[in-house]
């Protein structure tokens, strides 16, 4: 009896009692009822393949692709438990326009890429409190690289930095190595950097990231004291292991250690972090000390430090430890501006394309831009929007009229 084998790179399969769990890009999933698969034919599953027994090739492919399409509309994130939106080339969702996912261009040589919204730890100071977000996003790698390449061509600059960050932990992205490889093949890209909390790192993964083309890692370390480090991360955080990874990173590529100074919680730890960074001799190690900022939808464990006080502390530590705390291994270069298709207060006709990150928020699309629409109770169709934000080609709007 003929066997039709459908094999996938980014999709895995796990047989359950009444369904087959489809695992996508490591941390996302949906379930297909076995009864629906039985309608195609008798079947069997392997790690990355499903086998239909006795079915015709064309029939099996069409029907199974239909089940996949339904399943992707019900995508879940197994880490956060939230609904997830898969942003791909045929989704109708633009990659420019929102701060949640995709590409952010601030008219410099540094372009931000946001492939995923998800995190494996719960930092007490996080500006993106996951409990206040209703939906996660994950972006197709080829779509992200393709649109990034188009954006680079518009900038007329051959010193581009591709900075992989986002509202979460970028190393959770299932195709992070493929993303870095794709970016490294763009001639204008001279630097590829990534933000990470470090908890997923291993020497093997660091080697793979470097081989793929990563040139700098921005590593978040907020305390040397083991208990305080755990408290600040909201996670069984092993600072000794992270320190070991920091040393290994620095032996391979550039490293920025980036603590967040949270008043009343970890000021006393920053000098210890400075001393640790100075001990790493293999390559230049930079310190990017950040001032904790209060965000409307972020976590607020402390009151934000006044900027004058913050910079006074930096100067004090620079003198005490004979170190520069303002120099970074990158340069902001002004580039050609990405034109904004609409301005603040303008009325725009747009199509609702998916849910937004917040409850009662939708994402609309117009003129190849995504627009966040809060308090939008219309779930599909066309809407008239009054643009309320247009800075840096990041757009928000409110529904006006019917």
Residues 30, 110 within the same domain: no
Is residue 116 included in any domain, yes or no? yes
Residues 266, 367 within the same domain: no
pLDDT at 402: 65
Evaluate whether 143 touches 88 at the Cβ level (below 8 Å). Answer: yes
pLDDT at 26: 92
pLDDT at 285: 85
pLDDT at 282: 56
Is residue 327 included in any domain, yes or no? no
Q: Distance between CA 123 and CA 314 in Å, rounded? A: 23
**pLDDT tens figures, 127-136:** 888 788 999 9
Residues 124, 215 within the same domain: yes
pLDDT at 131: 82
pLDDT at 179: 98
Q: Distance between CA 192 and CA 325 in Å, rounded? A: 22
pLDDT at 327: 79
pLDDT at 132: 84
pLDDT at 122: 92
Beta bridge pairs of residue 311: none
Below-70 pLDDT ranges, the chain: 1, 281-284, 402
**What residues make up the domain containing 395?**
347-399
Residues 35, 169 within the same domain: no
Half-sphere exposure for 48 (CA within 13 Å, toward CB):
8
User: Domains in the chain: how many in total?
Assistant: 3
Query: What CATH number should be reported for the domain holding residue 205?
Result: 3.20.20.70
Report which of 11, 62, 10 is spatially closest to residue 39, judged by C-alpha positions. 62
Q: In what order do the strands lie in the sheet with 42-46?
A: 3-7, 49-53, 42-46
């Amino acid at each position: 009896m003929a066997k039709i084998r459908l094999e996938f790179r980014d999709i895995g399969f796990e047989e359950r009692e009444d369904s087959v769990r489809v695992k996508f890009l490591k941390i996302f999933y949906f379930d297909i009822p076995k009864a629906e698969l039985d309608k195609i034919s008798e079947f069997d599953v392997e790690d990355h393949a499903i086998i239909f027994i006795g079915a015709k090739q064309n029939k099996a492919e069409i029907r199974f692709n239909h089940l996949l399409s339904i399943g992707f509309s019900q995508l879940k994130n197994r880490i956060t438990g939230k609904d997830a939106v898969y942003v791909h080339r045929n989704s109708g969702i633009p990659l420019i326009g929102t701060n949640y996912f995709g590409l952010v261009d601030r008219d410099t040589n540094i372009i931000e890429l946001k492939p995923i919204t998800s995190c494996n730890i719960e930092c007490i100071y996080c500006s993106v409190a996951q409990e206040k977000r209703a939906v996660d996003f994950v972006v197709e790698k080829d779509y992200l690289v393709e649109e990034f390449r188009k954006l680079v061509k518009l900038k007329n600059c051959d010193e581009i930095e591709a900075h992989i960050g986002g509202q979460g932990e970028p190393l959770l992205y299932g195709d992070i190595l493929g993303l870095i490889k794709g970016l490294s093949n763009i001639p204008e890209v001279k630097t590829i950097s990534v933000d990470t909390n470090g908890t997923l790192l291993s020497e093997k993964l660091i080697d793979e990231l470097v081989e793929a083309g990563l040139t700098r890692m921005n590593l978040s370390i907020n305390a040397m004291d083991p208990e305080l480090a755990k408290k600040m991360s909201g996670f069984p955080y092993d600072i000794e292991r992270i320190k070991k990874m920091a040393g290994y990173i620095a032996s391979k590529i550039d490293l920025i250690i980036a603590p967040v100074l949270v008043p009343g919680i970890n000021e006393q730890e920053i000098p210890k972090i400075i001393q640790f960074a100075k001990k790493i001799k293999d390559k230049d190690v930079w310190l990017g000390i950040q001032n904790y900022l209060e965000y409307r939808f972020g976590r607020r464990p402390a009151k934000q430090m006044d900027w004058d006080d913050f910079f006074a502390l930096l100067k004090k530590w620079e003198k005490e430890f004979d170190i520069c705390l303002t120099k970074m291994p990158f340069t902001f270069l002004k580039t050609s501006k990405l034109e904004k298709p609409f301005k603040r207060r303008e009325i725009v006709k747009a199509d609702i394309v998916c849910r937004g990150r917040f409850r009662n928020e939708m994402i609309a699309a117009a003129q190849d831009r995504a627009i966040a629409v809060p308090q939008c109770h219309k779930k599909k169709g066309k809407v008239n929007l009054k643009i309320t934000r247009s800075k840096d080609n990041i757009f928000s709007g409110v529904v006006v009229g019917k």
